[in-house]
């Protein structure tokens, strides 16, 4: 338990925060700030980017100290996350939850600190593909964390939420929405907890995945530009998948007696690469349509005039280190590229203002690694496999922006991706003599050959890369070149 002087200090800090900003904040368009990138910008540059674009709310997937320190004094409202693999520990005892709150929340809730509004307990823990492995930990973790927040005098200010995937509910029509039968008991407990503590229901909605996973899904229904495939549900008509999905959740909550519960969209967006239909134009049309639709305050047929409390776009940046099991598009959701450059014009609802690029980004020198045109590239496949097992080559695959650049282009792209990841170490462009360094940008059309950025964690990340490469080499049983 916290000592009295720390409890008093924590209480005073919360009072200061409450005075400085109203608990009833305006709804806003926020962003998800993920950090699974090979080329991370300094957190201070990211926070400056958020402020430059007047982003008022940001959602983190963990409680990364560097990110939270950079957010101190920014005035940006923050949702910090707890990964699913921590749920078992946090459900085991209040000692564990006390420690987590002390290390990841209380220490930042000071004057001039971080304005933490939500703690996301798990991330889509009820996802059907998890087969219930996290389900039994959720409520115990929530109850323990709520006690821990209360001990720190933060329970009245910080709300606990559990981001759910839209696969938690189902129906043929929105009005028939219901939670999956195996989730009815746990969701009933969850919404009762959320309701008693004044917390919203957080849901992640992805019309792109509906389109990607179902060849018969009408493409125009995924957007907000009008459709020839409107869904009629009694007296209600749905012209886009987002509204239909959201009202399916509203109906499911109503069946449990919580039809008026506030809803936050924790993730929503459209990727720009890595699959058919994932491109810059589609992403711009979807995200701009979504923003305009939400900020119009039209709401949905089941909630006219009541849009979601907040919407967090997914995501701020491309994340080249994400798992691609769901699809290669997983690494290309960003409204900004990895280096903080806006991918397309987007208005976040701030008059005529479009996205502004990150400033003070420090790049590596303008040089690239490409296939040596004077060598025989017959035996290049193993080198490409190694390069792409470490670096991100997803744009080379079917549907990707670099899919049509030819065999030599593919080799050069793979070599360069690895070379930049190794901070342009000269040996990393050797590939047994098959690679060479060039000072001419080899980018072709929409296929961009990147130049890496420098950051404060470069040395530690490089060490991780060394171990990863060593593991790959041992697994495959051959050596390619020294690092």
pLDDT digits (tens, 9 = 90+) for 65-85: 999 999 999 999 999 999 999
- Model confidence, pTM: 0.89
For tokens 């992403």, what's the residue?
Answer: 283
Please give the distance of CA 33 from its chain centroid, rounded to a whole number. Answer: 6
Q: And the tokens for 363?
A: 């790049």
Q: What value does the mean pLDDT of the chain take?
A: 91
- Output the 3-class SS for the chain: CCCHHHHHHHHHHHHHHHHHCCCCCCCCEEEEECCCCCCCCCHHHHHHHHHHCCCCEEEECCCCHHHHHHHCCCCCEEEEEECHHHHHHHHHCHHHHHHHHHHHCHHHCCCCCCEEEEEEECCCCCCHHHCCCCHHHHHHHHHHHHHHHHHCCCCCCCEEECCEEHHHEECCCHHHCEECHHHHHHHHHHHHHHHHCCCCEEEECCHHHHHHHCCCCCHHHHCCCCCCCCEEECCEEECCHHHHHHHHHHHHHHHCCCCCCCEEEEEECCCCCCCCCCCHHHHHHHHHHHHHHHHCCCEECCEECCCCCCEEECCCECCCCCCCCCCHHHHCCCCECCCCCECCCCCCCCCCCCCCCCCCCCECCCCEEEECCCCCCCCCHHHHHHHHHHCCCHHHCCCCCCCCCHHHHHHHHHHHHHHHHCCCCHHHHCHHHCEEEECCCCCECCECCCCCECCCCHHHHHHHHHHHHHHHHHHHCCCCCCC
Instruction: Determine the Cα–Cα distance for residues 268 and 207; give it in Å rounded to an integer.
Output: 8
Per-residue pLDDT at 479: 41
57-60 and 77-82 beta bridge pairing: parallel
- Output the 3-class SS for 310-336: CEEECCCECCCCCCCCCCHHHHCCCCE
Cβ proximity of 348 and 435 under 8 Å = no
pLDDT digits (tens, 9 = 90+) for 221-273: 999 999 999 999 999 999 999 999 999 999 999 999 999 999 999 999 999 99
Closest CA to 148 of 91, 200, 63: 91
Question: Under the phi-then-psi rule, with left for phi > 0, alpha for psi from -120 to 50, and beta for the rest, what region is 349?
Answer: left
Other beta carbons less than 10 A from residue 297's beta carbon: 11
Instruction: Determine the Cα–Cα distance for residues 395 and 392; give it in Å rounded to an integer.
Output: 8
29-33 and 57-60 beta bridge pairing: parallel
For tokens 């303008």, what's the residue?
Answer: 366
For tokens 């060479």, what's the residue?
Answer: 436
Between these two residues, 352 and 355, which has the higher pLDDT value? Answer: 355
pLDDT digits (tens, 9 = 90+) for 297-321: 999 999 999 999 999 999 999 999 9
For tokens 């003070």, what's the residue?
Answer: 360
Instruction: Determine the Cα–Cα distance for residues 83 and 62; give it in Å rounded to an integer.
Output: 7
pLDDT at 3 over 80: no
For tokens 């305006």, what's the residue?
Answer: 26
Distances (CA, A) of 476 to 258, 392, 431: 54, 19, 16
Instruction: Determine the Cα–Cα distance for residues 37 and 392; give it in Å rounded to an integer.
Output: 10
pLDDT at 24 over 50: no
Per-residue pLDDT at 351: 81
Q: Hey, which residues are catalytic here? A: 124, 267
Cβ proximity of 296 and 242 under 8 Å = no
Other beta carbons less than 10 A from residue 95's beta carbon: 11
Mean pLDDT of 457-473: 46
Instruction: Determine the Cα–Cα distance for residues 195 and 307; give it in Å rounded to an integer.
Output: 19
> Quick one: pLDDT band at residue 473, thresholds 50, 70, 90?
very low
Instruction: Determine the Cα–Cα distance for residues 316 and 61; give it in Å rounded to an integer.
Output: 12
Q: Write down all domains in the chain, each with its CATH number in brackets.
A: 4-331 (3.20.20.80), 368-476 (no CATH)
Strand partners, 313: 31, 268
Closest CA to 20 of 103, 77, 93, 79: 77
Please give the distance of CA 35 from its chain centroid, rounded to a whole number. Answer: 8
Neighbouring C-alpha atoms within 13 Å toward the C-beta of 125? 28
pLDDT digits (tens, 9 = 90+) for 107-124: 999 999 999 999 999 999
On the 0-12 / 13-18 / 19+ scale of CB atoms within 10 A, 395 is buried
Per-residue pLDDT at 102: 98
Per-residue pLDDT at 465: 52
Which region among 26-30, 186-190, 226-230, 415-419 has the lowest average model confidence (pLDDT)?
26-30
Instruction: Determine the Cα–Cα distance for residues 207 and 357; give it in Å rounded to an integer.
Output: 27
């Amino acid at each position: 338990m916290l000592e009295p002087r720390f409890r008093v200090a924590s209480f005073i800090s919360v009072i200061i925060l409450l005075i400085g900003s109203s608990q009833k904040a305006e709804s806003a368009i926020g962003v998800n700030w993920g950090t699974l990138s090979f080329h991370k910008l300094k957190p201070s540059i990211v926070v400056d980017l958020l402020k430059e674009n007047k982003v008022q709310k940001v959602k983190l997937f963990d409680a990364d100290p560097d990110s939270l320190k950079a957010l101190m004094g920014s005035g940006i409202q923050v949702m910090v996350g707890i990964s699913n693999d921590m749920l078992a520990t946090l459900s085991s005892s209040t000692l564990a939850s006390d420690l987590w709150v002390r290390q990841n929340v209380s220490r930042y809730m000071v004057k001039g600190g971080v304005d933490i509004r939500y703690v996301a307990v798990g991330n889509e823990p009820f996802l059907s593909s998890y087969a219930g492995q996290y389900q039994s930990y959720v409520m115990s973790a929530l109850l323990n964390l709520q006690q821990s927040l209360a001990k720190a005098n933060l329970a009245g200010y910080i709300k606990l939420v559990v981001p759910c995937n839209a696969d938690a509910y189902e129906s043929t029509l929105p009005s028939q929405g219901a939670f999956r039968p195996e989730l009815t008991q746990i969701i009933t407990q969850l919404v009762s907890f959320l309701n008693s503590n004044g917390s919203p229901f957080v849901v992640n909605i992805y019309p792109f995945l509906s389109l990607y996973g179902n060849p018969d899904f009408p493409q125009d229904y995924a957007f907000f530009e009008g459709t020839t495939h409107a869904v009629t549900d009694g007296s209600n008509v749905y012209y886009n998948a987002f509204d239909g999905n959201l009202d399916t959740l509203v109906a499911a909550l109503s069946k449990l007696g919580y039809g008026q519960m506030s809803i936050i969209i924790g993730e929503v967006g459209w990727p720009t690469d890595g699959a058919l239909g994932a491109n810059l134009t589609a992403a711009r049309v979807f995200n701009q349509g979504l923003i305009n639709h939400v900020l119009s305050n039209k709401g949905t047929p089941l909630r006219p005039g009541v849009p979601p409390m907040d919407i967090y776009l997914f995501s701020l940046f491309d994340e080249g280190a994400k798992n691609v099991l769901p699809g290669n598009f997983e690494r290309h959701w960003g409204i900004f590229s990895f280096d903080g450059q806006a991918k397309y014009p987007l208005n976040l609802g701030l008059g005529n203002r479009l996205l502004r690029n990150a400033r003070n980004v420090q790049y590596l020198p303008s040089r690239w690694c490409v296939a040596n045109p004077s060598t025989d590239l017959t035996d290049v496949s193993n080198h490409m496999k190694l390069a792409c097992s470490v670096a991100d080559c997803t744009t080379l695959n079917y549907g990707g922006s670099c899919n049509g650049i030819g065999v030599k282009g593919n080799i050069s792209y793979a070599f360069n991706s690895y070379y930049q990841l190794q901070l342009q170490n000269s040996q990393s462009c050797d590939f047994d003599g098959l690679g060479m360094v060039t000072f001419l940008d080899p980018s072709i059309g929409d296929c961009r050959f990147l130049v890496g950025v420098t950051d404060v964690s470069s040395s530690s990340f490089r060490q991780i890369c060394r171990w990863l490469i060593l593991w790959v080499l041992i697994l495959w049983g051959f050596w390619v070149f020294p690092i």
